Amino acid sequence: MPPFEWSALSPNGDVSRGVAEAADRAAVVDRLQRQGQIVLRAEPAGVRSKFADLLHLELRGRRGLDRTAVAEFTREVAIMLAAGQDLDRALRFIVDNFGNSRSKTILAEVRDKVRSGSSLADAVAAYPQSFSRLYVGLVRAGEAGGTLPATLERLADMLERERKLSASIRASMLYPVILVIAAVASIFLLLDYVLPQFAPIFEQAGAQLPVAAQILLALGNVVGAGAPWALAIVAALALAARRAIARPAVRRRIDRWLLRLPIVGPLVQETLAARLTRTLGTLLQNGVPLIAALALVKDVLGNTVAQEAVERASLEAKAGRGLARPLREAGVFPARTAHLVQLGEEAAQLAALSLKAADIHEERVGLAVQRLVALAVPIITVTMGLAVAGIVGTLITTMLSLNDLVG
């Protein structure tokens, strides 16, 4: 029998890996599932050079599906399976009607893997850039329990809520960003193009520009000459920051600093709490054990400090001391999160109350973003308006001085 390399998540939240001999991949998955493990990967063992792996990735150009495409795919599969369609027909219909060509290529490959005998979980697990470990684990649990349509429906709800939350934050921040860009561009145009037009006129008249105009003209010369260097410095700093963030120690300091910021910190905490409770509730609702669910939750948080807090909470829960207290002591999530989790543990309704908590946190994130934008827009408008007004006032004074010279 051929060997298969596998990795799985135990009910205790530990990731284990190994090699097993079996007739096919399905036999390996079935064996691991009977042991109570959530299979993350199971594929034929083989030796392939790193160069071949890189070449394979480069030729395939696998950038992955975006969140919207994954959510749409999940929702459509869930609807068609709930309507009584088989998986192959559902996948064929989705591939034929998917608009994006890159997404269609990936989904067609998923369909081909299912047609060749793979389960849906194994098929999507081959594309980790598109489908996370959380996604694969939930699909596999749904297939094992015979509840795939309901599982995909809940998964689609979770993905769509996460996408809407991220989209609302980005949309709210778009107007202030556009406002700043427009104001900076206006100031640059006035300093670098409009104001220098007056200098030759005053030189021909044998007079000097007003002091304010001279200062702004010098500033405009500095801005015009230094703009390319400034862009180069910004690009270099961005590259250095990206490399620095890749280091765990630096990333942890930045994540901790974000949580402590006066206005942004509470917003980050509410966002992390929404991700934690939404994902945890969905996993528990689909029958994933608590410790294994917490191991998957860490992947979606995106904040190393929050991940460490969940890891400590997982150890406490594994020891039978509950989940609420370590979450409260971590100081990363709002107090409301720990309170609702504690109520869920006491009432044996942790899944339901986690989802209720997620609704509350998502609503608070939306309100916080609206307040932040409502505060930022007037400040930006007044600040940039004063800057532009000062430059325009200097231009008017310069023009009046020019009229005095002509007169």
Instruction: Give the DSSP per-residue string, 291-303.
Output: HHHHHHHHHHH--
Instruction: Yes or no: say if 133 and 296 are a contact pair by the CB < 8 Å rule.
Output: yes
Q: Of 16, 39, 61, which closes a domain?
A: 61
Residue 85 within a domain: yes
Q: What is the pLDDT of residues 87-120, one digit of tens each?
A: 888 888 888 887 667 788 888 899 998 888 888 9
Using CA atoms, how far residue 196 sits from 223, 339, 402, in Å, is 13, 63, 14
> Which residue blocks in 35-86 are alpha helix, DSSP H?
50-60, 67-82
Same domain, 243 and 225: yes
Same domain, 112 and 257: no
81 pLDDT higher than 80: yes
Q: CATH number for the domain including 53?
A: 3.10.20
Determine the Cα–Cα distance for residues 87 and 66; give it in Å rounded to an integer.
22
In this prediction, what percent of the chain has a pLDDT beyond 70? 87
Enter the tokens of residue 403.
């009229």
Q: Of 13, 44, 61, which closes a domain?
A: 61
Helix (H, G, I), strand (E, B) or coil at 177: helix
60 pLDDT higher than 70: no
Same domain, 122 and 173: no
DSSP state of 13: S
Same domain, 90 and 175: no
Same domain, 262 and 385: yes
Q: What is the pLDDT of residues 313-369, one digit of tens each?
A: 988 888 888 888 999 988 899 999 999 999 999 988 999 999 999 999 989 988 888
Unique residue bearing structure tokens 């459509």: 76
Same domain, 345 and 364: yes
In this predicted model, which residue has the larger pLDDT, 303 or 219? Answer: 303
Q: Distance from CA of residue 184 to its chain's centroid?
A: 28
Q: CATH number for the domain including 68?
A: 1.20.81.30
Range of the domain at 68: 62-131
Same domain, 110 and 247: no
Q: How many domains are there within the chain?
A: 3
Same domain, 240 and 336: yes
Residue 287 within a domain: yes
- What value does the mean pLDDT of the chain take? 81
Q: Of 76, 98, 131, which closes a domain?
A: 131
Helix (H, G, I), strand (E, B) or coil at 138: helix
224 pLDDT higher than 80: no
* Beta-strand runs (E) in 34-143: 38-44
Instruction: Yes or no: say if 182 and 380 are a contact pair by the CB < 8 Å rule.
Output: no
Same domain, 102 and 171: no
Enter the tokens of residue 162.
């996460």
pTM for the full predicted model = 0.69
- Average pLDDT value for residue range 276-283: 89
294-329 CB burial, b ≥16 within 10 A, e <16: bbbbbebbebbbbbbbbbebbebbeeeeebbbbbbe
Residue 143 within a domain: no
Tell the burial category of 157 from Cβ atoms under 10 Å away from its Cβ (0-12, 13-18, 19+).
middle
Residue 139 within a domain: no
Helix (H, G, I), strand (E, B) or coil at 18: strand
Residue 140 within a domain: no
Same domain, 216 and 290: yes
Enter the tokens of residue 293.
């669910």
pLDDT value for 353: 93
Same domain, 120 and 217: no
